[in-house]
């Protein structure tokens, strides 16, 4: 493989990863936009989604069934949607008027609970995720696009277009934007702020669940520890693009994925994570609003 081909292949791999980051980043960005809370348990929701998908794929059995993948995606979305609602209800809503740091601790508590519950059920070792789609891909010159990569691009783009339509074209979306601007005024206008917050958690969590299944089937192994690091990187993507901003999450995810793919290809796998964190720190220090963001980091 020539140098140029290697570059293109790394770009493609990075893009694939970036779209998954973007799906998870949406959950962070939406919740932060509405209640200025970093949902530290969000990475674990992604991880639970991956395991929910695994369960469905194992139940269906057999290799290369596209129907299995659809079922896994659907199941993970539903499981994570309910999980997101439950987390909001149990860990965040009772602390709405408490000091902000208390919510951080209860989020960490929820992370411990989810990680260990998954570990108890599925074991601590890496779990192999059966391939849902054939591995043979389409060749474009020297670069190969696998069906799984195509699915990741397609599903992510469709979901993001759908989300944008929801935020700007529906009643719920309008209520969400109103709540993000001013919760008190939104309430006075008759919007049920609690319901808006719950819906935001539900939608963000369902997207993370779908991201989990895509991640698991793409890399073919998952571990109960995956939620922490992937969640952190997705958060980086959200900040990079500008937190509270839906297209920003996509841009941030894709950029971060590209950087990581190139770092993995040209530096070494160990330094890959440093790249992600260095980007995070630099963006926050040089352009705290993110690339597309309007919010200022001077809050709190």
Partner 1 sequence: MRKRTSLAFGLILLLSFFDPDPYRSEIYATAALYALLALGLNVIVGFAGLLHLGYAALFAVGAYTYALLNLRLGWPFWLGLPASGAAAALAGVLLGLPAIRVRGDYLAIVTLGFGEIIRVVVTNLEGWTGGPNGLMGIDHPSVGPVHFGVDSKPYYALLMVLIAFTAAACSRLKHSRVGLAWAAVRENELAASCLGMNARQLKLLALGIGGWVAGLAGCVFAAKQGTITPDSFDFIVSVMVLAMVILGGLGSVPGVILGAVVLSVVPELLREFTQYRMLLLGLIMLLLMRWRPQGLLGPASALFRRVREPAA
* Token pair listed for 117: 């519950």
Closer residue to partner 1 in complex, CB, 232/262 = 232
Which one of residues 62, 158, 271, 294 is an interface residue with partner 1 (CB under 8 A)? 271
Which one of residues 11, 58, 70, 113 is an interface residue with partner 1 (CB under 8 A)? 113
CA-wise closest residue to 211 among 39, 53, 30: 53
Phi-psi bin for 158: left (phi > 0), alpha (psi -120 to 50), beta? alpha
Closer residue to partner 1 in complex, CB, 3/188 = 188
Return d(Cα 98, Cα 94) in angstroms, integer: 8
117 near partner 1, judged by CB under 8 A: yes
Return d(Cα 208, Cα 282) in angstroms, integer: 26
Return d(Cα 81, Cα 49) in angstroms, integer: 10
Half-sphere exposure of 113 (CA within 13 A, CB side): 15
Which one of residues 16, 115, 146, 156 is an interface residue with partner 1 (CB under 8 A)? 115
Contact code string over 221-260 relative to partner 1, x by CB under 8 A: -------x---x--x---x---------------------
Which one of residues 8, 82, 193, 262 is an interface residue with partner 1 (CB under 8 A)? 193
* Token pair listed for 225: 């520890």
Residues of this chain that interact with partner 1 (CB under 8 A) are 35-38, 90-91, 94-106, 108-113, 115-117, 120, 183-184, 187-188, 193-194, 228, 232, 235, 239, 270-271, 273-274, 277-278, 280-281, 284-285, 288, 297-300
């Amino acid at each position: 493989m020539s140098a140029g081909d290697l570059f293109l292949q790394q770009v493609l791999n990075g893009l694939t990863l970036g779209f998954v980051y973007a799906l998870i980043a949406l959950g962070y960005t939406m919740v932060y936009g509405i209640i200025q809370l970093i949902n530290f348990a969000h990475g674990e929701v992604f991880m639970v989604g991956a395991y929910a998908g695994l369960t469905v794929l194992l139940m269906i059995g057999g290799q290369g069934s596209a129907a299995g993948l659809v079922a896994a995606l659907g199941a993970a979305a539903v499981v994570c949607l309910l999980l997101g609602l439950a987390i909001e209800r149990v860990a965040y809503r009772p602390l709405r008027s408490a000091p902000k740091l208390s919510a951080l601790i209860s989020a960490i508590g929820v992370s411990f609970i989810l990680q260990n519950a998954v570990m108890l059920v599925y074991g601590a070792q890496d779990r192999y995720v059966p391939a849902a789609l054939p591995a043979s891909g389409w060749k474009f010159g020297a670069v190969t696009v696998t069906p799984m990569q195509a699915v990741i691009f397609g599903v992510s783009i469709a979901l993001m277009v759908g989300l944008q339509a929801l935020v700007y074209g529906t009643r719920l979306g309008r209520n969400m934007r109103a709540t993000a601007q001013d919760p008190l005024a939104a309430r006075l206008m008759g919007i049920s702020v609690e319901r808006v917050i719950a819906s935001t958690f539900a939608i963000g969590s369902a997207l993370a669940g779908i991201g989990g299944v895509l991640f698991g089937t793409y890399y073919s192994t998952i571990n109960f520890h995956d939620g922490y690091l992937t969640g952190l990187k997705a958060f980086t993507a959200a900040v990079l693009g500008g937190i509270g901003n839906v297209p920003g999450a996509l841009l941030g995810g894709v950029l971060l994925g590209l950087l990581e793919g190139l770092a993995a290809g040209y530096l070494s796998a160990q330094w890959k994570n440093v790249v992600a964190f260095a980007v995070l720190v630099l963006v926050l220090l040089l352009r705290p609003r993110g690339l597309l963001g309007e919010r200022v980091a001077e809050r709190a």
